[in-house]
Amino acid sequence: MKKLHVAVVGTGRIGKRHIKHINNLAHLSAVCDIKKDIADIVSNENNCPGYYSIDDLLKNENDLDLVSICTPNVFHKEHTIKSLKAGYHVLCEKPMAISVHDCEQMIHAAEQANKRLFVVKQNRFNPPVQAVKKAIDEGRIGNIFNVQLNCFWNRNPRYYHESDWKGKKDIDGGTLFTQFSHFIDLLYWLVGDIDAVQVFTSNFTHQNLIEFEDTGVISLKFSNGALGTINYTVCSYDHNMEGSITLFGEHGTVKIGGQYLNLLEYQSFKDDYKIIFDDTSKPANDYGFYKGSMSNHDKVYENVIDVLLNQGTIKTNMLEGLKTVQIIEKIYKAAR
């Protein structure tokens, strides 16, 4: 059976996670990082060529099917467009970009090149999230009236000191882009688009660490009439506390909770309907001294392979990636 030939651009924490799954599911053709020592270590560990610039990689590797972009947020547009123009499909890490304008240019490049642009949204594969999505699509909840999204995480000084880009406005984009864009995507996926927002933000404990907010409170009005709130912070003391979405509908109420949307914490439905699913959840992405979203990148790659080799259905397309950025941009504009 043919295996996809994949190159990874950006070999930091998330890039290494991509490499692990590529080695299990596809063929790792090359890696690239502007930090030469890191590129050398990763290429030696994986017995593949290592490059120090994406231009050199694209010029010298001519047997690629896919380029996975795992670089800092602001570079997603540049690296995606270069890869598409070189004739390769692209899998772009979240967020797709840090402006709607950049996303639109990426989409245009994909259409011009007639190549696929995938966007990583691995939390869509969380078992309770998929089960609730199925219940919504089947009409079990009915019209949704109210939504509550809580994101209470801890990001301490060490997290930012060990990165040369996180916390910098022009590269990172903001807390909603780097920490919680998955949650914004799920709001859109489960409930729909947003018409109006009101926002309060502040930086309480990270003044010398980040150039934007560490906490926000948002009121939302969705296009379907539902009302919602987002409460988010990276000031949860010492540990991540919660990542949850609660939906109140005409026929039911349900809460997906835990630290990483990994538990079905509450459900009550008309006619005693019960959501039943395989609740064997995978652990969160573990980065040593902190944890991130659930580790479903294998599911992301399985979908990419299915689409490119078997004409399967893409799970997160580039327009949905754009929509997440559009909503975050709307929130930050309201905050200003």
Q: Return d(Cα 60, Cα 87) in angstroms, integer.
A: 13
Task: Tell me if residue 276 falls in helix, strand or coil.
Answer: coil
Q: DSSP E strands: which ranges in 13-164?
A: 27-32, 50-51, 66-69, 89-92, 117-119, 144-152
By DSSP bridging, strand 252-257 and strand 263-269 are antiparallel
More confident residue, 282 or 100: 100
The two tokens of residue 8 are: 């990874």
Q: Options 3.90.1170.50, 3.60.150.10, 3.40.50.720, 3.90.1580.10; which CATH number does 5-119 get?
A: 3.40.50.720
236-257 confidence digits (pLDDT tens): 999 999 999 999 999 999 999 9
Q: Return d(Cα 121, Cα 318) in angstroms, integer.
A: 11
Q: Return d(Cα 336, Cα 326) in angstroms, integer.
A: 15
CB-based contact 80:106 (threshold 8 Å): yes
Domain segments of the chain as ranges: 5-119, 123-294
Mean local confidence (pLDDT), 306-310: 97
The two tokens of residue 60 are: 């010298």
Q: How confident is the model at residue 2 (pLDDT cuts 50, 70, 90)?
A: confident
CB-based contact 249:137 (threshold 8 Å): no
The two tokens of residue 321 are: 């990636």
What pLDDT is attached to residue 282? 57
181-223 confidence digits (pLDDT tens): 999 999 999 999 999 999 999 999 999 999 999 999 999 999 9
CB-based contact 209:200 (threshold 8 Å): no
Q: Return d(Cα 288, Cα 267) in angstroms, integer.
A: 33
77-104 confidence digits (pLDDT tens): 999 999 999 999 999 999 999 999 999 9
Q: Residue 292 pLDDT more than 70?
A: no
First to last CA, the chain: 53
What pLDDT is attached to residue 266? 98
52-64 confidence digits (pLDDT tens): 999 999 999 999 9
Q: Which CATH superfamily is domain 123-294 in?
A: Dihydrodipicolinate Reductase; domain 2 (3.30.360.10)
DSSP string, 186-215: HHHHHT--EEEEEEEEE-SS-TTT-SS-SE
Q: Return d(Cα 164, Cα 153) in angstroms, integer.
A: 21
The two tokens of residue 22 are: 């590529």
Average pLDDT, rounded, for the chain: 95
CB-based contact 100:326 (threshold 8 Å): yes
